[in-house]
Amino acid sequence: MSQITPEVVAAHSITPDEYQRIIAILGREPNLTELGIFSVMWSEHCSYKSSRVHLKKLPTRSKLVVCGPGENAGILNIGPDAEGHNWCIAYKIESHNHPSFIEPFQGAATGVGGILRDIFTMGARPIAVMDALRFGSLDDVENGVRNRHILEGVVSGIAHYGNCFGVPTVGGETVFEPSYAGNPLVNVFALGVFREDQIFYGKAAGIGNPVIYVGAKTGRDGIHGATMASGEFTEDSMQKRPNVQVGDPFMEKLLLEACLEAMQTGAIAGIQDMGAAGLTCSTCEMGSRAGTGIEIDLACVPQRETGMTPYEIMLSESQERMLLVAYKGRENEVLDVFKKWGLDARIVGEVKDDGMMRVKNHGEVVAEIPSRPLADEAPLYNRPFTKPLRNVPMEAPAFASADLNADLLGLAGSMDLCDKRWIWEQYDYTVRTNTVQGPGGDAAIVRVKENGTSIAMSLDGNGRYTFLDPREGAKLMVAECCRNLACVGAQPIGATNNLNFGNPERPEIMAQLVEAIEGMADACTFFETPITGGNVSLYNETLGDPIFPSPVLGIVGLMKTEMPTRISFLNADRAIYLVGGIGAADEVRMGGTQYAKQIVKELWGLPPALDMEFEKRVHTVVRTVVAGGLAESAHDLSDGGLAWGLAESTFGNGIGAEIELDSELRPELLLFHEGPSRVLISTADGAALERIAAEHGVPVLKIGSTAENKLVIRNRGAVLIETPVRALRERWATALEALLHDDVRV
């Protein structure tokens, strides 16, 4: 009697139709190990079966793209060194959302470990990490304690892994919304550098070449982790701790050095990390990419637990493991390197010419599956979609400020806008001495010593905007990332994305995903930032309650290596300009703003309107001014609008501002609307800035000057804001720790 019953199939998240497809591929019924292998490789987490048809809409090519989607990381050419060797960056973003809810510390830590392996498996040395974090509200009466526990665990996990491994965590963003209370988001970006002639790919090339397992021993942790990450959270989700891997950053550091040294021998034909689906994904994907097969014997796999079954070994997601293909006759060169570093390295099989993933256990075949259908021909669903989920009004509630000073102070103490120093001071953001600008700037910057250039990085997303209008929200995200890079003088050259959404089987959720992808595609094409890879994380729901649609984008840019222009005012008596203008009354929208969230405490309407052509001209002006050394400070206006952008510019050096505006907008709208395409610049050479802006047809307004100790904002002579910088900064600097440690909840 077959052990594969309909109940067993369903328990593996395989549909009846998918099961029939498996039978057709094999020409027979699968055994349990084979069913487990299909279940992880055809899971949403590994196969992107609900999103692949739409991901094809994204731009993926440019003259700088060396490697686009399909490999472990995207690669861009960043120019030659003094000897004429081209240097490249490898970069990517990945999610570890579900594991970080179940076990925050290890979930986040192993998310960092996984993305680092994606980078160095290409041959690149990681030099930067960033993270985009989403949590439930810390002052939530019902869930506040749990939300604080998750935040503290996630931050500790990121800090532990990155600090121990020795890679700087140079920036990111942290946002709090009720929709993330049951489903936090942990998206981790990593970037590495290498020479173009030292790139390695995850291909099992060369018939007869030995296949070598290296790194940590295999255990039972992480079994069915990919399947767990492909479903909604239910009442039983907290019982899934065995699906969360356990990381060892010190082991990964050894693995990094050993892999890079082994690559230098010239004895490696291909290499792949064991990420989601572990040994299963590395064997079938390497074979599929090369059009070859791989045969392995599990008896040769180093194991740290006794009695492990073939099913458990193949599905384990134990961390810090890699699979290599060495050139036949040179395997000892590879083995010797890993022995030197004290790591397990065992020949477990060889490359075959039949296109099969064949798994033996002590010589007995326990699984035999064609690699390509398993790795690259998972079911593809063009799921139905209607209109994006939207359950808030279009019309604004009546609101008027009783005290604009109090409103600004309220924003300063809000979870989204307050100082995140408590988080980023736990990270070592200067290790390896490449960090030019770390956390707290509009963009992080690391230098590439080898070719004398620097890489700027921005990570952004706005779930409120995307919820109100997925297409426009995604466009605004791309524009803000590029604007952040312009503020440090960098030219955007490429992007990676993480698409965090709810259950795609719900047409209104699928509509959010489709429209966000299409909006992102339009904007990335326009701003010339091809997407070279990324991650899709679906089923981010708990008990049927979805998160806000939360795409996150990381954009990288090139710039000269020099002292960066910072967001803080540097000197008193400098002219302050608003590049891009105030914003017309008929263009101002408040529904998705921080003011609406924190002060009005409502969500309505549409996100700000974006004119991409105008936005791009603003970038050109700002980049030219900053790169030319004309700006003493530069800061884009986004969350919190003009008043908050001015406030943030006063915090670094205590230099305030005297601002005089001339606008017909209501005070709340004038101060706090979040219209895009606007940048604050302080300068000692206003004439040069005005000349550059005029050349590109971009309006600039001289709105005031820097001053000592206070922030004053007037409109047509009426004082709207008047506050000492110190009081505002004190509220901003202490709010997060107060929320974390105060047990009194409102």
pLDDT surpasses 80 at 326: yes
Structure confidence at residue 237 (pLDDT): 54
Side chain identity at residue 408, one-letter code: L
Our answer to whether residue 741 is catalytic in this structure is no
Confidence at 410, pLDDT banded by 50, 70, 90: very high
Q: Which residues are annotated as a binding site?
A: 48, 92, 94-98, 117-118, 245, 273, 317-319, 497, 534-535, 537
SS3 490: coil
SS3 694: helix
Residue 694 lies in a domain: no
From residue 634, give the alpha-carbon distance in Å to each of 180, 453, 579, 624, 680. 32, 21, 10, 12, 6
Structure confidence at residue 746 (pLDDT): 34
pLDDT surpasses 90 at 587: no
Average pLDDT over residues 438-448: 97
Average pLDDT over residues 595-612: 97
Structure confidence at residue 745 (pLDDT): 40
Residue 585 lies in a domain: no
Residue 326 lies in a domain: yes
Q: Residues 700, 690: contact at Cβ < 8 Å?
A: yes
Buried b (16+ CB within 10 A) or exposed e, 434-444: bbbbbbbbbbb
Q: Say which DSSP state 688 is in.
A: H
pTM of the model: 0.96
Q: Which residues are annotated as a binding site for Mg(2+)?
A: 94, 118, 273, 535
Structure confidence at residue 1 (pLDDT): 44
pLDDT digits (tens, 9 = 90+) for 228-247: 566 675 655 545 545 688 89
| CA gap 476, 675 in Å, rounded | 10
Alpha helices by DSSP H, 414-564: 421-424, 463-468, 470-486, 507-526
DSSP string, 385-423: --SPP--S-SSPPP---S-HHHHHHHHHTSTTTS--HHH
Half-sphere exposure of 673 (CA within 13 A, CB side): 26
Confidence at 221, pLDDT banded by 50, 70, 90: confident
SS3 199: coil
Structure confidence at residue 226 (pLDDT): 60
Residue whose entry in the numeric block shows the structure tokens 């094409």: 525
pLDDT digits (tens, 9 = 90+) for 669-721: 999 999 999 999 999 999 999 999 999 999 999 999 999 999 999 999 999 99
Residue 344 lies in a domain: yes
| CA gap 447, 94 in Å, rounded | 23
Confidence at 368, pLDDT banded by 50, 70, 90: very high
pLDDT digits (tens, 9 = 90+) for 734-745: 999 999 986 544
Residue 288 lies in a domain: yes
Q: What range does the domain containing 271 cover?
A: 200-377
| CA gap 448, 446 in Å, rounded | 7
Q: Which residues are annotated as a binding site for ATP?
A: 48, 92, 497, 534
Q: Residues 282, 323: contact at Cβ < 8 Å?
A: yes
- From the CA atom positions of the chain, what is the Rg in Å? 26
| CA gap 166, 129 in Å, rounded | 11
Give the total residue count for the chain. Answer: 746
What whole-number percentage of the chain has pLDDT above 70? 96
Burial class (CB in 10 A: 0-12, 13-18, 19+), 329: exposed
Structure confidence at residue 13 (pLDDT): 94
Q: Which residues are annotated as a binding site for substrate?
A: 95-98, 117, 245, 317-319, 537
- Cα 742 to chain centroid distance, Å, stands at 30
Structure confidence at residue 158 (pLDDT): 98
| CA gap 143, 152 in Å, rounded | 14
Strand extents, DSSP E, 196-320: 210-215, 268-273, 293-297
Average pLDDT over residues 202-220: 97
DSSP string, 547-567: PPPEEEEEEEEEEESSPPPBS
Give the pair of three-digit tokens for residue 541.
Answer: 């729901």
For the chain, how many structural domains are there in total?
1
For the chain, the maximum distance between any two Cα atoms, rounded to a whole number of angstroms, is 87
Half-sphere exposure of 584 (CA within 13 A, CB side): 6
Alpha helices by DSSP H, 32-143: 32-41, 44-47, 52-55, 97-102, 104-120
Residue 691 lies in a domain: no
| CA gap 559, 423 in Å, rounded | 27
What whole-number percentage of the chain has pLDDT above 90? 93
Which candidate in 96, 160, 619, 635 is catalytic? Answer: 96
Residue 296 lies in a domain: yes
Residue 468 lies in a domain: no
Which candidate in 12, 45, 635, 673 is catalytic? Answer: 45
Burial class (CB in 10 A: 0-12, 13-18, 19+), 306: exposed
Buried b (16+ CB within 10 A) or exposed e, 244-274: bbbbbbebbbbbbbbbbebbeeebbbbbbbb
Q: Say which DSSP state 71 is in.
A: B
Our answer to whether residue 96 is catalytic in this structure is yes
Give the pair of three-digit tokens for residue 443.
Answer: 């963009």
Closest to 651 measured CA to CA, from 406, 456, 412, 411: 412
Give the pair of three-digit tokens for residue 131.
Answer: 């993270």
What are the beta bridge partners of residue 357?
294, 369
| CA gap 440, 430 in Å, rounded | 13
pLDDT surpasses 70 at 607: yes
The CATH number of the domain holding residue 330 is 3.90.650.10
Give the pair of three-digit tokens for residue 673.
Answer: 């609307």
Give the pair of three-digit tokens for residue 473.
Answer: 């929200």
Q: Residues 489, 561: contact at Cβ < 8 Å?
A: no
Give the pair of three-digit tokens for residue 571.
Answer: 């000197």
pLDDT surpasses 80 at 274: yes
Structure confidence at residue 234 (pLDDT): 62
